[in-house]
Amino acid sequence: MAQTFHYPQGLAKAAADVGRTSQLALGLPFDVARETYAKAVRLGLIADSMLAEARFEQKLGTMEKLTLGPWARRV
Residue 70 DSSP code: G
Contact 57, 49 (CB under 8 A): no
Residue range 50-75: average pLDDT?
A: 90
Per-residue pLDDT of 36-57, as tens digits, reads: 999 999 999 999 999 999 999 9
Q: For position 5, what pLDDT does the model report?
A: 52
Highest mean pLDDT among 16-25, 49-58, 66-75: 49-58
Q: Is the pTM of this model over 0.85?
A: no
Domain assignment present for 32 = yes
Domain assignment present for 36 = yes
Domain assignment present for 29 = yes
| CA pair distance 60, 49, nearest whole angstrom | 16
Q: How many domains does the chain have?
A: 1
Question: In terms of residue numbers, what domain contains 65?
Answer: 8-71
Domain assignment present for 59 = yes
Domain assignment present for 45 = yes
